[in-house]
């Protein structure tokens, strides 16, 4: 029972819950005292007041004995240690027995470190640029993200660290050092990605495709991890919201990667007519049109359409008319199966700690039974929603030859293959299409000499402003070592705002040796 109570108190609403418990406890004591005080005035034979006294007194003693037992053995229980660290400010509190361990990037650069002599002191060199994956460690606002799920290890109370902690805690009174937690992040790429977003609402995911190792996991805007209060209260900009893993957005044309993969896995590679007036999937459904239709309309001209397109040509031009037809041609069964395999409706776990897991939000793709409803979903619009982490993962599946790996943020976590999302032949075909989209299509500004970037732009309709801008890519084509996915909320065309960020990150990653150097899966 007390274990459950500790978990609740250690949660984000712990302080509010503790205040409520104090009120309830005081109310209970008041009622009990009044009952005992007034009980003798009741006529004999009407109320057995001595039994009431025994029950109340016995209950209080039982609670006190149970609490005392927990306190005596508390140093062996991470739940108790977190509770004491958060709520007990006495010099001999459990926290003072521990020097909290640091959090490092993959090269040993400090991302979070203790401040000597300050129980709650924590130093974050990257500040707001890395606050979303790292979280914060704060006396008032609690513990979040990596600081929370790795808390037992950082505090020195992970299960493997408990060596006769009862005796040490009660008698030795000497400090213990928490363990070091090393991440897959590269501090240089994390900072660069955050800087490139320039305070715009958005997210960046940089990943190693053959292992799922996350080199950068960025959400913008950020906030000061030493003073999270203003960010929590800012509802307009929501800086405390981790857009990289919690934000759910229509994926726009990046979703065409999955639709093309669905068709190619089934041996389908049709040619479709793509007229200027668009494609109507069925009665009472609006026409699906290419973006060129609206561009021509604004100029007072009539869009003639692309004519007949192959899948590769359609990917190059990012033709909505083609992919709406392709989605319908694949059919509900194949579409639903691909959504399950790609884990779109599942939270992807990206860190497993001693005190829980970090995972992204579930996407949203409804199960389809009618072909005509596929037209809108196949172009990444309608009810379909994904997180940037989902997009990075299915992009990485193309880069890795078809296998989708679980994203991971902790360096010592094992590499874990989730599913063969695409057949190897399909992955090679998709690579060729995405390369052509960069050489001569919508992703042309990302065509960096010698790096053979493969990618897909995305422009997704969004309420309340301009469209969301996407660009997801990998490089180099033959032996991909890097995946970059960028989202800019209300950024307009993907090639306009998301692509330039991705291009600079690829160039920076190349300077740091991540693009041309073969990935070591163990790292």
Give the CATH number of the domain where residue 135 resides.
3.90.1310.10
Q: 24, 39, 72: which is the final residue of a domain?
A: 72
The answer to the question of residue 99 being in a domain is: yes
> What pLDDT is recorded for position 155?
86
Nearby residues of 517 by Cβ (< 8 Å), 6 or more positions away: 481
Judging by beta carbons within 10 Å of its beta carbon (0-12, 13-18, 19+), is residue 37 exposed, middle or buried? exposed
Q: How many residues are listed for the chain in this entry?
A: 523
Q: Please provide the DSSP assignment of 268-316 as one string.
A: ----EEEETT-B--STT-PPB--HHHHHHHHTT----EEEEE-HHHHHH
The answer to the question of residue 271 being in a domain is: yes
Residues 45 and 105 in one domain: no
Residues 247 and 114 in one domain: no
> What pLDDT is recorded for position 3?
62
> What pLDDT is recorded for position 205?
98
The answer to the question of residue 519 being in a domain is: no
> Whole domain around residue 6: which residue ranges?
2-72
Q: Is the previous residue joined to 221 through a cis bond, with omega within 30 degrees of 0?
A: yes
Which 3 state secondary structure label does DSSP give 119? coil
Task: Say if strands 417-420 and 403-405 run parallel, antiparallel, or are unpaired.
Answer: antiparallel
> What pLDDT is recorded for position 176?
60
Residues in a beta bridge with 137: 143
Residues 168 and 301 in one domain: no
Classify residue 100 by its DSSP letter: P
Q: 72, 106, 132: which is the final residue of a domain?
A: 72
Residues 280 and 382 in one domain: yes
Predicted confidence pLDDT, tens digits, the chain (523 residues): 556 666 666 666 666 766 776 777 767 767 766 665 565 544 555 545 566 666 667 766 766 666 666 555 554 455 565 565 555 544 344 445 578 999 999 999 999 999 987 878 999 999 999 999 999 999 889 899 999 999 989 988 765 544 444 444 433 333 467 899 999 999 999 999 999 999 999 999 999 999 999 999 999 999 999 999 999 999 999 999 999 999 999 999 999 999 999 999 999 999 999 999 999 998 888 899 999 999 999 999 999 999 999 999 999 999 999 999 999 999 999 999 999 999 999 999 999 998 889 999 999 999 998 888 899 999 999 899 999 999 999 999 999 999 999 999 999 999 999 999 999 999 999 999 999 999 999 999 999 989 999 999 999 988 878 999 999 999 999 999 999 999 999 999 888 999 999 999 999 999 999 999 887 654 4
Residues 193 and 248 in one domain: yes
Residues 177 and 195 in one domain: no
Q: State the residue for tokens 């007990």.
A: 88
Name the token pair of 383: 């009810």
The answer to the question of residue 176 being in a domain is: yes
> What pLDDT is recorded for position 94?
46
Residues 112 and 256 in one domain: no
The answer to the question of residue 87 being in a domain is: no
Residues 193 and 133 in one domain: no
Query: In 3D, which of 512, 411, 506, 408 has the Cα closest to residue 455?
Result: 506
- Give the CA distances from residue 478 to residues 147, 174, 263, 444, 452, in Å, rounded to whole numbers and listed in that order: 38, 56, 22, 18, 8
Residues 470 and 439 in one domain: yes
Nearby residues of 191 by Cβ (< 8 Å), 6 or more positions away: 126, 129, 130
The enclosing H or E element of 98 equals strand 98-99
The answer to the question of residue 84 being in a domain is: no
Q: How many domains does the chain have?
A: 3
The answer to the question of residue 463 being in a domain is: yes
The answer to the question of residue 516 being in a domain is: no
Residues 200 and 177 in one domain: no
């Amino acid at each position: 029972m007390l274990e459950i109570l500790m978990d609740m108190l250690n949660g984000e609403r712990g302080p509010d819950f503790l205040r409520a418990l104090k009120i309830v406890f005081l109310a209970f004591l008041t009622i009990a005292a009044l009952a005992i005080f007034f009980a003798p005035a009741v006529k004999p034979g009407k109320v057995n007041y001595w039994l009431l006294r025994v029950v109340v007194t016995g209950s209080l003693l039982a609670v006190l004995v149970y609490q005392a037992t927990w306190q005596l053995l508390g140093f062996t229980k991470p739940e108790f240690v977190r509770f004491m660290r958060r709520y007990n400010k006495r010099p001999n509190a459990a926290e003072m027995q521990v020097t909290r361990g640091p959090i490092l990037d993959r090269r040993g650069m400090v991302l979070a470190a203790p401040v000597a002599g300050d129980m709650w002191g924590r130093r974050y060199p990257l500040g707001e640029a890395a606050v979303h994956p790292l979280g914060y460690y704060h006396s008032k606002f609690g513990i979040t993200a990596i600081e929370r799920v790795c808390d037992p290890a950082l505090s020195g109370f992970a299960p493997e660290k408990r060596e006769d902690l009862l005796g040490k805690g009660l008698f030795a009174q000497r400090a213990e050092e928490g363990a070091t937690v090393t991440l897959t992040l590269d501090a240089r790429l994390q900072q660069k990605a955050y800087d490139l977003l320039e305070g715009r609402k958005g997210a960046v995911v940089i990943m190693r495709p053959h292992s799922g190792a996350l080199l950068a996991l960025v959400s913008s805007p950020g906030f000061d991890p030493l003073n999270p209060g203003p960010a929590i209260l800012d509802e307009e900009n929501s800086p405390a919201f981790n857009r990289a893993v919690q934000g759910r957005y229509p994926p726009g044309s990046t979703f065409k990667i999955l639709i093309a993969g669905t068709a190619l896995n089934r041996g389908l590679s049709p040619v479709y007519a793509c007229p200027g007036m668009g494609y109507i999937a069925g009665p009472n459904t609006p026409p699906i049109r290419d973006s060129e239709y609206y561009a021509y309309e604004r100029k007072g001209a009539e869009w003639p359409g692309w004519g007949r397109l192959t899948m590769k040509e359609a990917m190059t031009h990012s033709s909505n008319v083609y992919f709406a037809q392709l989605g319908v041609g694949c059919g509900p069964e194949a579409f639903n199966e691909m959504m399950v395999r790609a884990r779109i409706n599942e939270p992807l776990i990206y860190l497993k700690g001693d005190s829980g897991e970090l995972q992204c939000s579930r996407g949203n793709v409804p199960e389809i039974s009618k072909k005509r409803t596929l037209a809108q979903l196949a172009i990444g619009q309608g009810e379909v929603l994904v997180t940037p982490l989902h997009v990075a993962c299915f992009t990485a599946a193309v880069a890795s030859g078809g296998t989708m790996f679980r994203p991971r943020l902790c360096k010592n976590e094992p590499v874990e293959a989730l599913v063969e999302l695409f057949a190897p032949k399909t992955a090679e075909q998709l690579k060729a299409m995405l390369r052509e989209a960069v050489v001569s299509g919508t992703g042309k500004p990302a065509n960096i000499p010698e790096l053979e970037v493969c990618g897909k732009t995305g422009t997704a309709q969004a309420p309340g402003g301009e469209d969301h801008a996407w660009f997801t890519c990998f490089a180099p084509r033959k032996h991909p070592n890097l995946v970059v996915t960028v989202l800019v909320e209300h950024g307009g065309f993907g090639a306009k705002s998301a692509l330039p960020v991705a291009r600079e990150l690829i160039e920076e990653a190349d300077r740091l040796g991540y693009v041309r150097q073969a990935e070591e899966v163990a790292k």
